[in-house]
Amino acid sequence: MALSIAPLFSGSSGNSIFIRSKSACILVDAGVSCTKIRGELQKLDAHMDELDGILVTHEHIDHIRGLDIISKKYNVPVYANEQTWEVLLPKLPDIQAKNVRVIQAEDFYIKDICVQPFELSHDAACTFGYALTSRGKKVSVLTDLGHVTRKIIEQAAGSSIVLLEANHDVEMLNAGPYPYRLKHRILSTKGHLSNDAAAQAAFDLAKTGVRGIILGHLSLQNNMEDLAVQTVTGYLCQRGVQVGKHLAVTLAKRDQLTGCYDAR
């Protein structure tokens, strides 16, 4: 196994993704309790004391809820950029100084995994996406972003698998009960990707050689699983991408392990 990605939780109630290589075990975010993450890892025959690091995308609670307990209990380093740490540290008093790792949008290694952080547009201090490469295989995490730029596509280019946000259906959001200011926030370039925007991003990623898309971070109120998948696959098919042949598309579960996917 060169590299694998396993979404443990993906949604507005909590997010955590497990990345494993031959030598390293990494979480991207820890947005649910330590107990819940430990339970899902056990399904993969993985254990908390094997973790080599936690990469933080940003400081919103659905990405950091279990962070300080996991880091302290299992002595796990936590990686985040300086702007995110400025907001995080007052919220996470149990984080030990020895486990604070300040990173920039520059490549670094955790054992045999090359971590490539890059900035995303979201309403947080400084949101990072991540591309992770080991032994020539690459996976990327693109969630919590209001729009996709050419630079972001370039960062994730050539990934075997991309976890890609498909947060909401625009019509459902506009017709729903959210107050105007929240709707405006979600729809802005610092909000979340719609199904339509995810479809365009999936097409652009496929052109770079991406072979698998895992749709994630779906809104419970403003999206439906079937609708997200149909919107993305329909758009791809209209543009000549044969889903299941040229590109695999699946969906990350909100509250449990989705599966473990090997980068090929």
Q: What is the CA radius of gyration of the chain?
A: 17
The pLDDT, as a whole number, for residue 2 is: 87
pTM higher than 0.95 for the full model?
A: yes
Contact between 228 and 215 (Cβ < 8 Å): yes
| pLDDT given for residue 93 in this prediction | 86
User: What are the pLDDT digits (tens) for 98-152?
Assistant: 999 999 999 999 999 999 999 999 999 999 999 999 999 999 999 999 999 999 9
Distance CA 198, CA 4 (A): 22
Task: Give the pLDDT confidence score for residue 1 in this predicted structure.
Answer: 63
Residue 178, CA atoms < 13 Å, CB-side half-sphere: 20
Ordered mean pLDDT values, 10 residues apiece, the chain (264 residues)? 93 96 98 98 97 98 96 97 96 92 98 98 97 97 97 98 98 96 96 98 97 97 97 97 95 96 94
Per-residue pLDDT, 97: 94
CATH no. for 3-262: 3.60.15.10
Where do the structural domains in the chain lie, given as residue ranges?
Answer: 3-262
Nearest to 28 by CA among 94, 116, 125: 116
Q: How far is CA 208 from CA 21, 26, 103, 121, 227, in A?
A: 23, 25, 27, 21, 25
